[in-house]
Amino acid sequence: MGTLTTPRIRLATAADAALLARHRADMFRDMGRLNAATYGPLAAASAAYFARAIPAGEYAGWIATTGDETDAPIAGAGVQVRAMLPRPNETGTALTDGPEGIVLNVYTEHAWRRRGVAELLMRHLLEWSRARGLVRVVLHASAGGRPLYEKLGFVPTNEMRYTGTD
Ligand SMILES: CC(C)(COP(=O)(O)OP(=O)(O)OC[C@H]1O[C@@H](n2cnc3c(N)ncnc32)[C@H](O)[C@@H]1OP(=O)(O)O)[C@@H](O)C(=O)NCCC(=O)NCCS
């Protein structure tokens, strides 16, 4: 297990595309949803996505680093900003058309888990989302991530899924 000082959190840029892509592929691998042969293609396709979507403002990512002299990356999280149709607000009393955020790519390297790094990343993400005017933030929780999201105030919704299309 690594020795953690205070982790440093920074916003990702397009130059971090390969790192974000590795976090994404490692996340799916650890969730048991990615076989070895698909790791490389997913990482390559994701790097291309991040290199385009970050400058376009469609995706914002955060990277946690050790905060020591190496300042090595140890975790990441991101949010995709998605336009929504005009809709009633929660109370049905007014219209809202602000974008929503979808939390993606929450990943902490094994040696740095259970020290609050993902929680710290998520708090930065939520603060940014509020400032950016996102009307809501949604995610699909893995079994490992669920307690963290519940602690932050996320609640289950009525979403349904049809998986026959891919
Ligand atoms: C899920 C995941 C991102 C959590 O990362 P993490 O950095 O370990 O998360 P945190 O440390 O902030 O919180 C995780 C747990 O550690 C606990 N924790 C936080 N600080 C702690 C500390 N100093 N000492 C001991 N435990 C601590 C938290 O209370 C939490 O416990 P709980 O799960 O029993 O509620 C990480 O396990 C991971 O990458 N998993 C694989 C990919 C994945 O599932 N990603 C989520 C997709 S939705």
- How many domains are there within the chain? 1
| CATH assignment at residue 134 | 3.40.630.30
Q: Is residue 161 part of a domain?
A: no
Q: Is residue 166 part of a domain?
A: no
Per-residue pLDDT of the chain (166 residues; tens, 9 = 90+): 556 578 999 999 999 999 999 999 999 999 999 999 999 999 999 999 999 999 999 999 999 999 999 999 999 999 999 999 999 988 999 999 889 999 999 999 999 999 999 999 999 999 999 999 999 999 999 999 999 999 999 999 999 999 887 6
Q: Is residue 162 part of a domain?
A: no
62 contacts 12 by C-beta, under 8 angstroms = yes
The dihedral built from the CA positions of residue 17, 34, 106 and 56, taken in this order, carries a sign that is positive
pLDDT for position 128: 98
Q: Is residue 80 part of a domain?
A: yes
Q: Is the CB of 117 under 6 A from ligand 1?
A: yes
For atom 39 of ligand 1, which residue has the closest CA?
Answer: 107
Q: Is residue 3 part of a domain?
A: no
Kindly give the distance from the C-alpha atom of residue 115 to the centroid of ligand 1, in angstroms, as a whole number.
Answer: 7
Question: What number does the ligand 1 atom closest to the CA of 147 have?
Answer: 35
Q: Is the CB of 31 under 6 A from ligand 1?
A: yes
